[in-house]
Amino acid sequence: MKKILIVIFFLYSQVQSVEPDEILTDQKLENVARLIGKELRCLVCQNEDIENSNADMARDLRILVRKMLSEGKTKDEIISYIHSRYGDFVLFNPPIRYDTSLLWLLPIIFLILLFYTFFRKKH
């Protein structure tokens, strides 16, 4: 029973929302489409990427990504286009800029502080 539950868990974790009619016949392009989809946040269900979201909006974006790939656009071009429409919010990895510096630097600052207090105590 335990083993079956583990198998079901791993099967479920692999389930994606990509529907059969969306999948590209070219497996290489389909793989790129899935990689792109994993980097884009669904703006409706905000904790999911567009590959795993059931929202209509995510489906539109998945179809657009595959359409642009079929037209010969590169991964960077597609992500850059969608970023230009929806801003940083659509990216799971926001770019490092002046206004996002706090987001990237705070964990490093806290780590440094943690090490500093830890080693100070030892001495």
Partner 1 sequence: MKYLFLLIFMSSIGFLFYKGLKIDPSVVPSNLIDEKTPNFQLKKIGTYPLFQPNDLKKQEIKIVNFFATWCAPCKVEHPQLMKLSSSFTIYGIAKKDNTKDINKWLKDYGNPFDKIGLDSDGISSIEWGVYGLPETFIINKDSKILYKHVGPIMENDLEKIKAILK
Structure tokens at 88: 């940083």
Question: Taking Cα atoms as reference points, which of 50, 55, 62, 31 lies closest to residue 90?
Answer: 50
Least CB distance to partner 1 at residue 86 (A):
5
Within 13 A of 106's CA, how many CA atoms are on the CB side?
A: 5
- Which residues, in sequence order, are CB contacts of 91 under 8 Å at separation 6+? 39, 40, 41, 79, 83
Nearer to partner 1, 15 or 56 (CB): 56
Least CB distance to partner 1 at residue 106 (A):
8
- Return the residues of window 1-60 that contact partner 1 according to CB under 8 A: 43-44, 46, 56-57, 60
Which member of 35, 38, 87, 95 binds partner 1 (CB under 8 A)?
A: 87
Binding site for partner 1 (CB under 8 A): 43-44, 46, 56-57, 60-61, 63-64, 82-87, 89, 110, 113, 117
